[in-house]
Amino acid sequence: MTLLIAGDIGGTNTRLQLFHTTAQGVEPESSPQSYPSQDYPDLVPIVAEFCQGLKQKPQRACFAIAGPVANNCCTLTNLHWQLGGDRLAQALGLASVTLINDFVGIGYGVVGLKPQDLHCLQAGRPDPMGAIAVLGAGTGLGEAVVIPQGNGQYRVFPTEGGHTDFAPRNPTETALLDYFKTEKQLKRVSVERVVSGMGIVDIYHCLRDRLAIPESPALAAQWQNPNLDFAALIAQLAFSTNDRLCRATMDCFISAYGAEAGNLALKLLPYGGLFIAGGIAPKILPLMEQGEFMAAYRDKGRVSAVLDSVPIQVVLSGDVGLVGAALCAAQG
């Protein structure tokens, strides 16, 4: 058994958890611990504090970081941290430290989740050695590819798929594209502009201002509040009230999300599974189950039937990045 430190490093919080290796993968040895990142000059003192009182010393660590990672190094702009795996390993007395991008961590993590951490949208016909696709809308839109290597090993390849071109499929999305180009002064519109938290708010404004769907007075009065998460509020009102504009907004968002899931599935044929991660999907699960997501996913003309064999799961666990970091560390 090998002890591993897994970390999810963000500009606001750093979350650490201890795992141990098993024949099947990894199992948690402790509960996640959270530290305010801004209160520390570097990652080393956080990890050192985390390790205080441990009965056994961990051997390896992997940290998933909200930022670009190259050659096992990363500079976090918001924190002014300069992290290097070799330096961290030496300073912490570990055999190795691996740094990965946070969405790569999610890619590793989806293969280690328990059934209770997932919600099935389509059973499909799983292929244990098939490619795995990960798609996740949150602040932005992340996409990754996971390739099984055999013997429980995986390789995760990050992509910039969220920045591919947004292609409207109907009059509403055509109006949305024009809204981005005229109101936002964008020469090019990516899928991420629509399928993300910021996309929800922009869809709302477009449907209100361009398609004249009336806004409720109660919500109109809230726009001056700088502390509100309007994407979350729109989503909440869409399934908790009869707010027509909020519901139309989420229908448009979910349809675009499903269409992009189908696009990714066509490019990869991920018969090992398509995982819908990110912070938005678990919060709008009742809406995603109502059919619009899967209808847009399957709407691929004469090749639609190809997508019926892809297993599709929504990731419910907020700890998928920690699990992924642990699995990456376990691979050495």
Q: Tens digit of pLDDT for each residue in 145-193?
A: 999 998 888 999 989 999 999 999 999 999 999 999 999 999 999 999 9
Is residue 193 within 8 A of residue 252, CB to CB? The reply is: no
Q: How many CA atoms lie within 13 A of 283 on its CB side?
A: 17
Query: Predicted confidence band at 208 (pLDDT cuts at 50, 70, 90)?
Result: very high
Query: Predicted confidence band at 78 (pLDDT cuts at 50, 70, 90)?
Result: confident
**102-109 vs 320-330: helix crossing angle, rounded to 10:** 80
pLDDT tens column, 217-254: 988 888 888 888 999 999 999 988 889 999 999 999 99
Q: Is 195 helix (H, G, I), strand (E, B) or coil?
A: coil
Task: Please state, in angstroms and as integers, the Cα–Cα distance from residue 35 to each residue in 19, 42, 84, 98, 248, following that order.
Answer: 18, 12, 20, 20, 39
pLDDT at 14: 94
Query: pTM score > 0.85 for this model?
Result: yes
Taking 90 as the threshold, does the pLDDT of residue 120 lie above it? Answer: yes
Q: CA 201, CA 235: separation in Å to the nearest integer? A: 10
190 secondary structure, DSSP code: B
Q: Which residue has the higher pLDDT, 23 or 44?
A: 44
Is residue 117 within 8 A of residue 275, CB to CB? The reply is: no
Is residue 238 within 8 A of residue 199, CB to CB? The reply is: no
pLDDT at 239: 86
Residue type, 155: R
Q: What is the mean pLDDT of residues 202-212?
A: 96
Query: Predicted confidence band at 12 (pLDDT cuts at 50, 70, 90)?
Result: confident
Query: Predicted confidence band at 75 (pLDDT cuts at 50, 70, 90)?
Result: confident
The domains found in the chain, sorted by start residue, are: 3-113+317-330 (3.30.420.40), 161-315 (3.40.367.20)
Taking 80 as the threshold, does the pLDDT of residue 332 lie above it? Answer: no
Look at phi and psi of residue 283 and say left if phi exceeds 0, alpha if psi is from -120 to 50, else beta.
alpha
